[in-house]
Chains A and B, each alone.
Chain A
Amino acid sequence: MLFNTFDFLWIFPVIFCMYYFVTCRERVIEKYPKIGNYLLIAISYVLYLKWNPVYSLILLGVTAVTYLMAIIIERNKAFGRKKYICISGVVLAMLPLLTFKYYNFLNNSFIHLFGLFGAKIGLPGLNWVMPLGISFYTFQAVGYLADVYLKRIKAEHNWWDYMLFVCFFPQIAAGPISKARDLLPQIKARRIFRYEQAVQGLKWILWGMFLKVVLADRIGVSIDSFNGILHNESGLMNLAVCFLYSFQIYGDFAGYSFMALGVGELMGFELINNFKRPYFSQSITEFWRRWHISLSTWLKDYIYIPLGGSRCSKARNYFNILVTFLVSGIWHGANWTFIAWGVMHGLFQVIEKIFGINKKQSIGIIKGIRIAITFIVVSFAWIFFRQPSFVEAWEQIIRIFTNHDLTLHFSMESMCFMSFAICLVVLKEVAEEWNIKWLNFLHSRYVFVRWVTYAFILSCILLMGVFDNSQFIYVNF
């Protein structure tokens, strides 16, 4: 269930009422302490089945493989054997992801490679839709398996608790990728309704909805109409699209993550917050501590540190960073542009490390300049993320630097909508980043101010939102 659909508006209140109607009854809870979990599993699977019944078998398969493998790992005393069981479990769990996401890419790459030598060798391509959220739930399940192998946590023996850990509906489509040590204890504990948590949940949903339908989708409507013809537009237009996409992808992904966080809070869960104002980062290294935090943490824990992390030679450390971000690029999509994007981010971080920029925190004007430079670098890297091929990405970059025409072909209306949404988001984030309490209207101590802010955001959503049930960008990953 995607949060920007009309279905969500009526299905979620029903789920909420059903959930608390069952879990708030002492007698029921005494007799069936896990009834809330069973209900959430049923809801999660029904919603997934509604999208595609067959693909729910993959979800179930990944859950079963990692559940059983974790128990087998725990029962085996010999470390060497454990390693092979863990590797087998990871490969088995990753198999659907590798098949659906990378088969065509690898096949086409090989065909192209062999073609260069005049050979026509290749397998037939697959024309299957990718299962919803497969990259997210697979990484979550594999992370759990690795944690059990590394003895960071004990294997979960309750099948139903583990099933809910993998399929929990607010995070299945596009994360956050939760860690077992954070989420499983919450699943096991009895959750009670807390007023403050529920109100906070609603605030997350409201703000997330604004980011998605007003910021991201408004920009999307404006810039997507130039797809494929951007090379005919002015340099300024190409530059504007580059920067606007930075806001679009932030609004799109952070919007989803905040709504997932909000839905989780309303159900009594504390999910990991994926975003901490990433565009206020002073370096690329810091950017990755603020952007898609759950994935960054996953990559750090299961790729970077096992490779040796920073406790090794400098050269090896740089290699580890590059490999970690290569994996990040590959995770985002089966295309050379994503790989280039990942490697680029890795390279930037290596450069920062060589010059010691990654650890320095500046203040005042220097801080402002560093934030601006980081934003520009990140935005240019997004060009490779957005464009379907190197040629188009390169064309856009060349156009920015070689065409000095200053015309912008956005309508007055879309300029107003985009500027307004960007200003509002920047204002809120400035208030949070610099802890300016009087500016943080959503959390004002005055009820009137809070309610006016809620009403204002809701009005903006109704008046300016794009309600075409557009897909979230990260759901495709």
Chain B
Amino acid sequence: MKKFIFKLLLFLVVYAVVDYVLGLGLGWLAANAKGGDTARNYHITHSAEEDVLIFGSSRASNHYNSRELEKQLGSSVYNCGENETGIMYFYPLLNLIKKHHLPKVIIYDVYTMDLLDNLRLGHLDYLKPLKTSYGIDCVDSMFFRSEPTSKIKMLSSLYRNNSTFLNVLFDWVRNNIIYDKGFYLLNTGKLIDKQVPNDNKRDFVYDSEKLSFLEKFIKENKDSINIIFSISPEYGRTTDDMFDPLKKLCDQYNIPLLNHYCDTTFTMHSDYFGNVNHLNRDGAVLYTRKISEEIKGLW
């Protein structure tokens, strides 16, 4: 028994070293990635120094053309939008960014992931892109909050790279150009299924934790950063009652809300959409121009 336990412990110690070294290696690969998600994620978490940052889900990364915004606003812009994420991701992300840089403006495109409780994803899934930044207080606390066992799981640096290591490797080898200053370039399609979503009375189940983080996000940053909330268009929408809690928060803290959710310039034109939730590149350019004008009006 003693021999068994001794050898088992010895293996675990040796493996802990292996895990640490491999983790360092993957970290180095991520830091030297030539393109793709890895380079983008590394830039956002470690070296983003742009004046204007775009936050939000995939709708943010698809709808806010950074180059166009830069042209219109005359400031540097980076799009930090991340697929299937929301406030539970952007709250710790901003704290992480603030460790090395204080942005002047944040344009936060709000969607269901920031408000509702009816999604298949748990809170921990939203934090996936931050796994590799684990080890910094503001990030760790969100992981512990979402799942207490992450304290143990995240000790393994390989676990932190779970599912992403292949991307890290690919992005280190080749320059995969899918983003331009964080803006997603590949949404060039046209809407095929033009079925208008049903806007009849819908019951929304709001996530109180998300709403409280949204409020914290405002309270902690409104004095040092210009926060602008925006809601980009969705195909065929005629009511925006889903965003009522956000409207209330914006009123309460005097935060501008640029609401284009039901903007008929877009919602009635399927040519501007790649799918019902996302504008395509043409739609994004038009939307970016429109919203830049409004932002300029705010300053």
Contacts and interface: CB of A to CB of B under 8 A. Distances in A.
Interface in B136-162: 149, 152-153, 156, 158-159, 161-162
Contacts of B152: 6
Interface residues of B, number: 23
Interface string B163-176: 10111001000000
Given A459-B158, A465-B162, A6 B149 contact: yes
A413 B4 contact: no
B19 to A, nearest CB: 8
Contact of A413 (B8, B14, B19, B167): B167
A199 interface: yes
A464 B162 contact: yes
B116 to A, nearest CB: 21
A462 B162 contact: yes
Nearest to B169: A416
A454 interface: yes
Chain A interface, >50% SS class: helix
B1 A24 contact: yes
A463 B161 contact: yes
B186 interface: no
B253 interface: no
A462 B158 contact: yes
B149 A416 contact: no
Interface string B99-132: 0000000000000000000000000000000000
Chain B interface, >50% SS class: helix
A195 B4 contact: yes
B15 interface: yes
B22 interface: yes
A24 B156 CA distance: 33
B167 A451 contact: no
A204 B11 CA distance: 17
B15 A455 contact: yes
Interface residues of A, number: 23
Contacts of B163: 413, 463-464, 466
Contacts of A24: 1
A192 to B, nearest CB: 10
A59 to B, nearest CB: 28
Interface in A382-403: none
A193 interface: yes
A416 B173 CA distance: 16
Nearest to A198: B4
Interface string B15-45: 1001100100000000000000000000000
Given A451-B11, A451-B14, A463 B162 contact: yes
A202 to B, nearest CB: 8
Given A413-B167, A455-B15, A455-B18, A193 B4 contact: yes
Interface in A441-473: 451, 454-455, 458-459, 462-467
B162 A195 contact: no
A404 B166 CA distance: 31
Contact of A6 (B18, B153, B166): B153
A103 interface: no
A458 B15 contact: yes
A6 B155 CA distance: 14
Interface string A59-72: 00000000000000
B3 interface: yes
Contacts of A413: 163, 166-167
Interface in A170-209: 193, 195, 198-199, 202
A462 B8 CA distance: 18
Interface string A409-440: 00011001100000000000000000000000
A463 B3 CA distance: 30
A20 interface: yes
Contacts of A458: 15
A454 B158 contact: no
A368 B170 CA distance: 36
Nearest to A456: B18
A459 B158 CA distance: 7
B22 A459 contact: yes
A463 B158 contact: yes
Interface string B72-104: 000000000000000000000000000000000
Given A455-B18, A463-B162, A465-B162, A199 B11 contact: no
B83 to A, nearest CB: 13
Nearest to A420: B166
A202 B166 CA distance: 28
Contact of A195 (B3, B15, B18, B165): B3
A451 B161 CA distance: 22
Interface in A1-26: 6, 20, 24
Interface in B167-189: 167, 170
4 closest A-B pairs by beta carbon, nearest first, are: A462-B158, A462-B159, A193-B1, A463-B165
Given A195-B4, A451-B14, A467-B159, 18 more contacts: A20-B1, A195-B3, A198-B4, A199-B4, A413-B163, A413-B166, A416-B166, A417-B166, A451-B11, A454-B11, A455-B14, A459-B22, A459-B158, A462-B156, A463-B163, A464-B162, A467-B153, A467-B162
18 contacts: A6-B149, A6-B153, A20-B1, A24-B1, A195-B3, A199-B4, A413-B167, A417-B166, A455-B18, A459-B19, A459-B22, A462-B156, A462-B159, A462-B162, A463-B162, A463-B163, A464-B162, A464-B163
Interface of A: 6, 20, 24, 193, 195, 198-199, 202, 412-413, 416-417, 451, 454-455, 458-459, 462-467
